[in-house]
Amino acid sequence: MAGNMRELTSLTVIMPCYNEENTLEEVVSQVLQANILGLQLELIIVNDGSVDGSRQIMDQLAAQHPAIRALHHDVNQGKGAALSTGFKAATGDLVLIQDADLEYSPNEYPSLLQPFFEQRADVVYGSRFRGGHGYGRVLYFWHSMGNRFLTFCSNVMTDINLTDMETCYKVFRRPLLEKIQLREKRFGVEPEMTAKLAHLQPRPRIFEVSISYSGRTYEEGKKIGWKDGFRAIYCILRYNLIRD
């Protein structure tokens, strides 16, 4: 859909960050060491109004590593807003979303990128629920059921068969991102992106790969809550029924 794979030479990793001073340096180190299958790396960290030491840490990292760019929101706006800022600044042929915590491992990058190198995919989702080689920390039953329910609702409206719509790990050919305008500021961006991608014409080739996942507890810093679940339902309806 977006050209021959031999034209792909670079990868942009977008990392939204809000108050992640305890994990930021480690996850950045993992990204810099990740196997990205020979692509040139650009890492854009978007500070979404952090009030801890995250801003200072990312500025130091950007000064030390030419592959890193640090962008800043003066006030907290939400993950969706941070992604929009990162997407607009991205220059890579492929764009990958990476959270700034340690729930998702950059060791999964080869699996996420391989469908592009096989000239099969325009979009790849990393699924925590697909099965296969991945492993996962055992945590909240109702949280996982909520994720599956939202994925089911999204699939009904988009007519695609994802197993994990809410996953952080999404990789896109960058021209696709230029065709959609994101409106959601918080976690509603996940169903919004999925809806808008699914309704593009011609429909992009969307693939899933199994990934490992090491979730956090709320005491450890997990931020998404039940209110975000209700917003996700609204977004599933809003962006599938009204396409703008």
In a domain, residue 50? The reply is yes
In a domain, residue 1? The reply is no
Q: What is the side-by-side strand order in the sheet with 94-97?
A: 68-73, 40-48, 10-17, 94-97, 170-173, 123-127, 206-210
Q: Is the model's pLDDT at 216 over the cut of 90?
A: no
Q: Which domain holds residue 44?
A: 7-241
Of the listed ranges 51-60, 123-132, 180-189, 231-240, the one predicted with least confidence: 123-132
In a domain, residue 2? The reply is no
Per-residue pLDDT at 153 = 97
In a domain, residue 146? The reply is yes
In a domain, residue 72? The reply is yes
In a domain, residue 147? The reply is yes
Query: Among 128, 127, 125, 129, which residue's Cα sits nearest to residue 113?
Result: 125
146 is written with which tokens? 């909520």
Q: Which CATH number does the domain housing residue 75 bear?
A: 3.90.550.10
Decide if 197 contacts 123 (C-beta within 8 A): yes
Residues 11, 131: Cα–Cα separation, whole Å = 26
Long-range pairs, 114-120, Cβ under 8 A, ≥24? 114/37, 114/209, 115/207, 115/209, 116/5, 116/8, 116/171, 116/173, 117/5, 117/8, 117/37, 118/5, 119/4, 119/5, 120/205, 120/207
Mean pLDDT, all residues of the chain: 90
In a domain, residue 139? The reply is yes
For 76-111, what is each residue's pLDDT tens digit? 999 999 999 999 999 999 999 999 999 999 999 999
- Which amino acid makes up residue 53? G
Residues 206, 198: Cα–Cα separation, whole Å = 8
Decide if 214 contacts 169 (C-beta within 8 A): no
For 137-146, what is each residue's pLDDT tens digit? 555 676 778 8
Radius of gyration of the chain (CA): 17
**Total tally of structural domains belonging to the chain:** 1
Per-residue pLDDT at 215 = 67
Per-residue pLDDT at 135 = 59
Residue 225 banded pLDDT, cuts 50, 70, 90: low
Per-residue pLDDT at 223 = 53
For 8-37, what is each residue's pLDDT tens digit? 899 999 999 999 999 999 999 999 999 999
